[in-house]
A = this chain, B = another copy of it.
Amino acid sequence: MAAATLVSNGDHAAFKTPSAGRQAAVYSEVQNSRLDHPLPLPSVLKNSFKVVDGPPSSAAGNPDEIAKLFPSLFGQPSANLVPGDSTDNSLSKSLKIGVVLSGGQAPGGHNVISGIFDYLQDRCKGSTLYGFRGGPAGIMKGKYVVLTPEFIYPYRNQGGFDMICSGRDKIETPEQFKQAEDTSVKLDLDGLVVIGGDDSNTNACLLAENFRSKKLKTSVIGCPKTIDGDLKSKEVPISFGFDTACKIYAEMIGNVMIDARSTGKYYHFVRLMGRAASHITLECALQTHPNITLIGEEVAEKKQTLKNVTDYIADVICKRAELGYNYGVILIPEGLIDFIPEVQLLISELNEILAHEVVDEAGVWKKKLTPSSLQLFDLLPSAIQDQLMLERDPHGNVQVAKIETEKMLIQMVETELELRKQIAAYKGQFKGQSHFFGYEGRCGLPSNFDSTYCYALGYAAGALLNTGKSGLISSVGNLAAPVSEWTVGGTPLTSLMDVERRHGKFKPVIKKAMVELEGAPFKKFVSMREEWALKNRYLNPGPIQFVGPASDNLNHTLLLELGAQV
């Protein structure tokens, strides 16, 4: 009843390795229904188009250094696709294109690939699309699969990255660049599409520069992917996956809110995935109206201490208790503690000490901490102390994403409320419940928005490669308008870059887009949060719908940034 075997007519005998493929996969009824969900294209992509160049570009910072790092690409104009007949007759020739998924999963990646593929099918008959397997390592090792209509079809509008899988490798050393060149030459690649976040797109630009400088014909185009929402600019209004992931988390938060109100006795502390930036947390707040939302960027801006944060939460809990509410919902961004200056200092001291010292049980090592860090360390619940000591990456650094901040805050708030009880400043009952929403959101079925947006990003990437552009990131804009009116083009990756000094050298980086405290989404949140804190304005967005009410809604962050009222 709910499941049907998907029958594919393609011959995939050459691709029967364990880690990939949905051949003979069993699909649920909803998965099946998504396969043929129509994907409208912006008008400009449906007809003849030509490329109009914008003015020369610069960099997000330190343009002189960026110019030195990207001599072939720096300064190139953005590309805008507009209706019209191209003067370039080469546009209909067949191409050999590679595509790679880089970094963590985000709903919609499969549709980017579908978009590239369909562009080649529609406009460049006889083209070949190679899918590099397992991320950038697939480029270096020459591990790929030739993508066919039968191979791609089962992944249309489906979540995950399992069509060709992803990986976190980078192409960095001269040897690795050489490997990429070899693959490019061997496959005679006209172009490569790198689907990834800020780091992966920086890497894509380095690869584009390298190919250009070596006079290889391979162009490189990036696509903005990350559920975290921290890869965006004026020209790239949103990274794909953010919309779906936030809607999935907001569904869960909305459910927990109704539970909190029904039970009347729990404070739910919900930590949300999202790395350093707090976009996901802010978006979920706008979708659900929690009592308390911590935004890392604000905590940093105000130079708050852990005690400040604890007090803020305790203050709201005390006020709510006076109103008779001994329950609530609190949203916490994954990267919160990284935003607290004193915690940053503690972590950097710990990283230094643990790299060189033996941690003795008697705690002699602790004397290496500065007095303020030692005081903070001793203030932390022991489980968090353990996580700070034990959860380290291969470089020996604390893995902030693994710190259970929500449990830490529950304990610290509990302690604070006990103190207030003793002086009769709090008379309520406090019970904390911890949650972490993360993996559930990275591979869900893409929302209608992400499905359509990704398909356009991919189709546009195909068009940009077809015109020989390199070092651009696929850019689809005017997203609050109907799809037919979306704008399409490419933005120079170098224009998004600044440099960071590492080991005495300048390294190019696409600056992570953090939550702007002067931006419309944060301002909207600030205008509402006091009401949300004390009155219960919980909003339950419900599960993502693919047809019917709300199925075509955009996320609030995007709408507000585009100037719409929500």
Contact = CB atoms under 8 A, between A and B. Distances in A.
Interface of A: 1-3, 17-19, 25-34, 105, 134, 158-162, 165-166, 248, 251-252, 254-259, 261-264, 268, 287, 289, 323-325, 433, 435, 439-445, 537-550, 553-554, 556, 559, 564, 566
A30 B442 contact: no
29 contacts: A18-B325, A25-B537, A26-B289, A28-B287, A28-B540, A29-B549, A30-B549, A31-B540, A32-B549, A33-B548, A33-B550, A105-B258, A105-B259, A105-B263, A158-B540, A159-B255, A160-B261, A162-B261, A165-B263, A166-B262, A251-B444, A251-B543, A255-B440, A258-B444, A259-B439, A444-B542, A543-B545, A545-B545, A546-B549
B445 A542 contact: yes
Contact of A159 (B17, B258, B553, B559): B258
Given A3-B566, A19-B264, A33-B548, 7 more contacts: A27-B539, A28-B287, A158-B540, A256-B439, A256-B440, A262-B443, A547-B548
A494 to B, nearest CB: 30
Contact of A541 (B28, B255, B539, B553): B28
Given A3-B539, A33-B549, A105-B263, A162 B258 contact: yes
Integer count of this chain's copies in the complex: 2
A443 B539 contact: no
A18 B564 CA distance: 34
The winner among A33, A255, A440, A556 for most chain B CB atoms within 10 A is A255
A287 B3 CA distance: 9
A469 B473 CA distance: 71
Nearest to A441: B255
A547 B547 CA distance: 7
A540 B445 contact: yes
A105 B159 contact: no
Nearest to A444: B255
Contacts of A548: 33, 546-548
A255 B543 CA distance: 13
A287 B433 CA distance: 28
Contacts of A546: 542, 545, 548-549
Contact of A255 (B17, B166, B248): B248
A2 B556 contact: yes
Given A19-B325, A550-B30, A2 B541 contact: yes
B255 A442 contact: yes
Contact of A439 (B2, B435, B541, B547): B435
- Considering the complex of A and B, which 3 residue pairs feature the smallest CB-CB distances, nearest first? A543-B543, A30-B542, A160-B258
Contacts of A440: 252, 255-256, 435
Nearest to A30: B542
A355 B536 CA distance: 41
The winner among A25, A32, A162, A262 for most chain B CB atoms within 10 A is A262
A390 to B, nearest CB: 12
Contacts of A3: 539, 566
